[in-house]
Structure 1
Amino acid sequence: MSVRFGRGVATAASAVALMAGAGAAGAQTASPAVGLAAPKPASTQGPQPAGQPDRVTGRRTYDAAWFRTFAPATALQIVERVPGFTIERIDGSVRGFGGAAGNVVVNGQRPSAKSDTVETILSRIPAGRVVRVEVGPGDLYGAEFTGKPQVLNLVTSATGGLAGTLTGAVRRDYTGKLFPEGSASALLRSGKSTFNLALNIDNENTAQEGFDRVTSLPNDALVEYRYRVNRYREPVAALSGSWEYNDGANRTAHLNARAATDRFALDQSNWVDPTGRPRREDSLTSRTTVNEYELGGDVTRPLAGGGIKLIGLATRRHRDSDDLSLVDLFGSNGPGPTGFSQSLADRESETLARLVWNRSGWNGWNVEIGAEGVINRLRSRVNLFDLDAGGGQTRIDLPVDDATVRERRGEAFVNVGRALSPALRVDGGMTVEASRLTVSGDVDARRTLSFLKPKLVLDWRFAPGWRAQLSAQRTVNQLQFTDFISVAELGSDRVNGGNAQLVPQRSWELLGTLEYPILGDGLVRLEAGYTRISLVQDRVPTPEGFDAPGNLGTGTVAIARARVEAPLKTLGVKGGRLTLYGSYVPTFVTDPYTLTTRRFTNNSDFYGSAEFRQDLGSFAWGVLAENGTSSTSFRREETDRSFRGIYTQVFAEWRPTKTSVVTATLENALARPTYRERLFYAPDRTSPTPVTREFRRRNGLVVPMLTFKRTFG
């Protein structure tokens, strides 16, 4: 009987990253940022129409009045309407503070927290507290953003008193069940202090049905047909609080705290028809609990004509998971069900301190010098058992299923920049990183790593409206601690082996950007780049007969991206706006089994989207369509390819008052299904011809949702 390893362990609710609510309504009504953000150059071209770049700084500015057409209720809805800007998603597993910068700041600063997503932070700020939005090159907002083509600065008012947001939503699944969720936040400004308290309750519930068809190759003869129904439930609750003290430039302090809990549940029912044998019923259940806590703060004081900022952050995460896979529940082929059970428990912690000194206008240079120290630890244990028909269980030893991973990492950095002329700016920097990594338990591995990471950015405004940027830098990927640990996937016939010898990949990246405004406040942006990677992190065979995360040879990445955002008023469509985006990013590396060139594991070459939105006074409507090419996981004995039909979303909004919005949304409006194809090879992929094919289809389901948002203050 084959092991059925599958969807089992849920991904923990990650601590995704950018900033905390402490600065959400910090006082600022002028452009220069408080704290350590690099202020704009002393001279600018002067006031510009909304969306037109300043010829000196490249900054585009939109005041609050520009967004009234959209009747936004929160700062998030304002940011989502900024032409040509997309919030950068940060990997929640990024360790340290410097690597989680993102591309959004509030009043010129990144508060000292990582757990709340930027969308969550912005959704807590009432739209009425927003004075303006500025979008410009990253160097305008601090050296840690150098090289980012765009960083958005949300400038809030100094208005005192109480403000807040309330959000309620209800989602309906295909069975007719309703699932409510909501959030509430309150923000109080008194004198130089701002206090924020927020509660978020998400209630993700989805249902999925479809079939698996297993055939033998090359004749494609049916081996087994499975009808499956999956139900996922994931309620998440998070409570956040923060305090900000703002006494002007380089005289600020923040304190942030957050506690969150995540409860994931999967219940899967399978009706299986093997060729030539009786029908059987299988099942898979998975339960995961994640509790997370974070405490952070910072203080900034004047020093030597600039400011010095000390940041401290501590995060703790506890995850416990139990999975159970049973085959032949009613014993049609034997005395009782057989299967597998797995339990996983891990404890992860991060403690860091970061010290930064910043000074602008020092002989024409902006200078930032700093250092960061981080201690990370993961303690993980996995227990996998084979269950026999009589109820007995036998433990299955996995490579590296009981281990502790520790990392002590430090970095020192210097960043400098200056304007060489009114149209040309140069920024550069150097980071020195060193770490000591140990793995103990089932294996004993130790190594010391050190890297130099230089970067150089040229920003050129060579003609009215035109802007070009060229950046070159060396980057080093962070290792995922969970890649050191082995774990089974109950339901997919496979084990993810752990690899204590994994090392981070290193890249040289070259990227060019060209942008130009169109049709008033519209924008066209083109990007092209090339990346050369050594020690590509992918999947490799292990001596125990599994595959695991590991390092391949040299790989390359080509980058071509385009974004067009066009207001359609001048074309006769009142309140209309069209956004088109396309990304073609092929990757190339030599496969360790076939010795031929292939894509990186799970890389999708092309992604494209089109969005139309029309705002008509108190009403608005819009449609989004997106799709991408398939992605493939290249494993020892199989290739696992995932793809789907075009995804669409349709919405309609009604704004009964200036502070409230009602939105009706249809997710996956065309009910497109998703697909997965697994090709199996014997004994592994050194054999060029697959012997078995498993094709999965999950029916696309339309998910209606109704949301109400209201702000006050």
Structure 2
Amino acid sequence: MTNSSIIRQAVLLACALTAAGHAGAADGAVQPYNPDYFTQFQAATAMDMVNRLPGFVFDGGNASRGVAGNVLINGKRPTSKTEALGDVLGRIPTAAVERIEVINGGASGIDMQGYATVANLLLKQMDLVSMTTNAASYVMPDGSLAPSLDGNYSLKRGDKNINVTLGWSRSPDTGQGQGYRTTVYAGSAPAAEVRVAGAGIAENKTIKLNYGQDLLDGQLNWNGAYNPWNYHSLASFDAATRSLNSNDNAGHTLEQGLAYTRDLPHGASLDLKALYRTSGIDADSGFVSGGNSGHSVTTSTASEQILGGQLSWQALDGVVIRGGIERAVTTNDSSVSNNPQAAAWVQESRVEGQLSSAWQVDNTLSAEAGVKVSHASLATSAEQADAKAYVYPKPRLRLALSPTPVLQLRLRMEREISQLNFGDAAAYFGMADKSLRAGYPDVVPAKTWLCEGAVEYRFWERGTAMLSYTQSHVSDVIDRMQIRTPNAVYDVAGNIGDASADSVTGMLNLPTDSWALPQGLLKLSTTWRSSSVIDPATLETRRLSGEQPLGWRIEFSQDLPSQRTAWGFSVDNGWSNDSWQTAERDTSSGSGWARAFVNYRPASNLMLTLELNNLASRVISYDRTHYAGNDRLANVVDFVEHNITRTQPFAMLRLRKDW
């Protein structure tokens, strides 16, 4: 029996077993939670409340890539692409929250954005003034400190609201430490060992301003952010000759965004958004080895402009139809001081239209179907007349069925289109000798058809068990590929063919009240992944590059209201993955990460937090197996490089005061 067959039968068996269970839970796809529910958890912010929602797993998305998170505020998602969703929720005090609705499968007027479950944060319509300050510091084993300070002021008067955030922080590079590099050669040359030690520090400043008011029977919101930063690192390599590598990087991000929403007659509503974002980086790197030295400066700038609109119409009770269009232009420009040929300029222009319909049949069944059509063009020089253009349809279908109040079955079928890496595109289309790729097709985005089935079961008051299986078929996989000539082999990013992938995810939230641990919650989660693709160099089957076969995480937290304390811990298995290039195979891994924390509230508006991180001193390894002739096809290894770095544990002290 194949692995896929076993997995499918396991999911079906789980569905059957779960359907036989009995427990108390609320009916319907929408489960409301009032602020009183969160009193037992001593929640101070909306983020605290979201983290305590039974069976809900927070996903902040990826704001910089336009991937929305699974928490909405008054039914909408924040416009900003520079601010994490968790930071937005962390600024909202519990006093401003009317209630939180957990929506499973779908609900009228809610855009699920591909998530099976979302949380909708509904704010009170009341005047409110709040201010919060946070003072924190990293504490390293040698006693060094890396402090940070931020403050937030929020004012709501009638239809107007303003929010100001100022912050400054220093943080050590926790991925650096001490270790060694060993290189073993295939010939008679002796192995070489180098001792490595590195450290880095980052400094960030933040200014954020948000303003909103009623306008023309709608709501207008403006957000602005400015974030200058710098990063410094130094690494030493001790062998027969001592070497030093340094990095001095500085950059900034500037963003402005507008969002306008308005209810229209006959159950319709309009959403408009505009965003302009720029960033710049100056990366200064140098090295010294014996009597030799080198220095280079890489300058990169990027900009993004987005205009979009969406019209929603509640055609019937429980039926919502949405249509919209969005245009985005993203430009990246980079240059290297000591290598003019490495300069790259890439611009992507994208127009995407969408049409979808969501149908909440009743409290047990919901469906959503739609299609997005994306037209994208990619240019690698401002003078390029024939920019590469592509049109891709992206249909989707989602079903959610709740045969009992405690059981939900979900099905999702969707086509996803990847985003081209700008560096890969510039390197491929901008090769100095374009005749080298004359016989090769242009690199295009990867396309994925996926089908996902999930079963979720709720028990007791806060218990949840979830099992999902996802099967994907990927065409035009992007990975490293070779371009061979009579004199050399070139390694470039390109499309290497089709692939299949499977994943199984399990999650268990288990209340521990019956185990003499009142207000405790144990969370177990794991994901198993498998994939298959034909390697372009050896024509053999292998995994997709960067895929982690197995990941798991254990978390426990307990609230002790009478002691005004909460504590908990978490541990995971780290990571391990392989990647393949034309000349080598690389393996990257990191051992497990352990964390413990305790929160103490000496007063209702004051919280002191102690975090102990990296308690197991994560070991990071990076292995390179390099092949003779810079070509894995011959399967002749000329050297193996083994890198080991042991990172340091550290503590974090944080004091939060609400005014």
Q: Same fold (TM over 0.5)?
A: yes
Match runs of 1:541-552 below 5 Å: 541-542=482-483, 545-552=489-496
**Identity fraction in percent:** 24
Deviations 1:94-145 (A, max 9, x none): 2xxxx42221111211232221001111121123322322221363375642
Indicate the SS of the match to 2:61: coil
User: Using a 3 Å threshold, how does the CA distance of structure 1 residues 357 and 123 change in structure 2: closer, same or farther?
Assistant: same
Quote how far apart the aligned CAs of 1:441 are: 7.4
Report whether the alignment pairs 1:204 with 2:171: yes
Deviations 1:606-657 (A, max 9, x none): 1100011122121222111101451122112221211122210011121111
Check the 8 A contact 1:108/1:153 in 2, yes or no. yes
Match runs of 1:520-535 below 5 Å: 520-535=461-476
Aligned equivalents of 1:668, 1:701: Cα separation in 2: 7
Q: Which consecutive unaligned segments of at least 5 residues does structure 1 have?
A: 1-50, 273-278, 329-335, 385-394, 488-496
Report whether the alignment pairs 1:630 with 2:576: yes
Which among 107, 115, 127 is matched to residue 160 of structure 1? Answer: 127
Deviations 1:550-594 (A, max 9, x none): 211001110100110111113332221100000112222111111
Corresponding position of 1:71 = 42
RMSD value over aligned CA atoms? 2.5
Check the 8 A contact 1:668/1:702 in 2, yes or no. yes
Aligned equivalents of 2:169, 2:482: Cα separation in 1: 39
Aligned equivalents of 1:444, 1:65: Cα separation in 2: 62
Quote how far apart the aligned CAs of 1:443 are: 8.8
User: Using a 3 Å threshold, how does the CA distance of structure 1 residues 182 and 502 change in structure 2: closer, same or farther?
Assistant: farther
Quote how far apart the aligned CAs of 1:541 are: 2.5
Corresponding position of 1:12 = none
Aligned length: 619
Corresponding position of 2:354 = 413
Corresponding position of 1:55 = 27
Quote how far apart the aligned CAs of 1:460 are: 0.4
Corresponding position of 1:176 = 143
Which among 474, 491, 500 is matched to residue 556 of structure 1? Answer: 500
Report whether the alignment pairs 1:81 with 2:81: no
Aligned equivalents of 2:599, 2:196: Cα separation in 1: 36
Which stretch has the larger CA shift, 466-475 or 592-601? Answer: 592-601
Corresponding position of 1:120 = 87
Amino acid at match of 1:293: L
Check the 8 A contact 1:125/1:165 in 2, yes or no. no
Aligned equivalents of 1:298, 1:417: Cα separation in 2: 23
Which among 296, 299, 305 is matched to residue 260 of structure 2? Answer: 299
Quote how far apart the aligned CAs of 1:246 are: 4.9
User: Using a 3 Å threshold, how does the CA distance of structure 1 residues 286 and 486 change in structure 2: closer, same or farther?
Assistant: farther
Corresponding position of 1:480 = 421
Aligned equivalents of 1:710, 1:681: Cα separation in 2: 58
Quote how far apart the aligned CAs of 1:219 are: 8.3
Corresponding position of 1:588 = 532
Which among 697, 706, 709 is matched to residue 644 of structure 2? Answer: 697
Corresponding position of 1:317 = 279
User: Using a 3 Å threshold, how does the CA distance of structure 1 residues 162 and 419 change in structure 2: closer, same or farther?
Assistant: closer
Check the 8 A contact 1:402/1:442 in 2, yes or no. no
Check the 8 A contact 2:45/2:89 in 1, yes or no. yes
Aligned equivalents of 1:221, 1:628: Cα separation in 2: 35
Aligned equivalents of 2:655, 2:441: Cα separation in 1: 49
Higher relative contact order (CA 8 A, sep 6+): 1
Aligned equivalents of 1:606, 1:133: Cα separation in 2: 33
User: Using a 3 Å threshold, how does the CA distance of structure 1 residues 319 and 575 change in structure 2: closer, same or farther?
Assistant: same
Match runs of 1:558-573 below 5 Å: 558-573=502-517
Report whether the alignment pairs 1:224 with 2:170: no
User: Using a 3 Å threshold, how does the CA distance of structure 1 residues 140 and 690 change in structure 2: closer, same or farther?
Assistant: farther
Which among 332, 343, 365 is matched to residue 319 of structure 2? Answer: 365
Indicate the SS of the match to 2:191: strand
Quote how far apart the aligned CAs of 1:517 are: 0.8
**TM-score w.r.t. length of structure 1:** 0.82
Report whether the alignment pairs 1:289 with 2:244: no
Check the 8 A contact 2:107/2:318 in 1, yes or no. no
Q: Which consecutive unaligned segments of at least 5 residues does structure 2 have?
A: 1-22, 429-436
Check the 8 A contact 2:236/2:243 in 1, yes or no. yes
Which among 614, 630, 635 is matched to residue 668 of structure 1? Answer: 614
Check the 8 A contact 1:139/1:147 in 2, yes or no. no
User: Using a 3 Å threshold, how does the CA distance of structure 1 residues 447 and 53 change in structure 2: closer, same or farther?
Assistant: farther
Match runs of 1:319-338 below 5 Å: 319-328=281-290, 336-338=291-293
Aligned equivalents of 1:538, 1:131: Cα separation in 2: 48
Corresponding position of 2:107 = 140
Deviations 1:459-506 (A, max 9, x none): 10112310011010111111122323459xxxxxxxxx9x99431101
Amino acid at match of 2:506: A
Amino acid at match of 1:267: L
User: Using a 3 Å threshold, how does the CA distance of structure 1 residues 304 and 316 change in structure 2: closer, same or farther?
Assistant: same
Indicate the SS of the match to 2:380: strand
Quote how far apart the aligned CAs of 1:546 are: 4.3
Check the 8 A contact 1:138/1:147 in 2, yes or no. no
Quote how far apart the aligned CAs of 1:92 are: 5.0
Corresponding position of 2:586 = 640
Corresponding position of 1:343 = 297
Amino acid at match of 1:232: G
Aligned equivalents of 1:586, 1:193: Cα separation in 2: 51
Aligned equivalents of 1:691, 1:571: Cα separation in 2: 57
Indicate the SS of the match to 1:570: helix
Compare the two structures and name the one with the higher helix fraction. 2
Aligned equivalents of 2:383, 2:542: Cα separation in 1: 33
**TM-score w.r.t. length of structure 2:** 0.89
Corresponding position of 2:9 = none
Corresponding position of 1:40 = none
Quote how far apart the aligned CAs of 1:78 are: 2.1
Deviations 1:499-550 (A, max 9, x none): 9943110110111111111232211111111010000122222567442332
Runs of 4+ in 1 over 4 A off after TM superposition: 51-54, 141-144, 217-222, 441-445, 542-546
Check the 8 A contact 2:465/2:507 in 1, yes or no. yes
Indicate the SS of the match to 2:359: strand
Aligned equivalents of 1:316, 1:181: Cα separation in 2: 25
Amino acid at match of 1:318: G
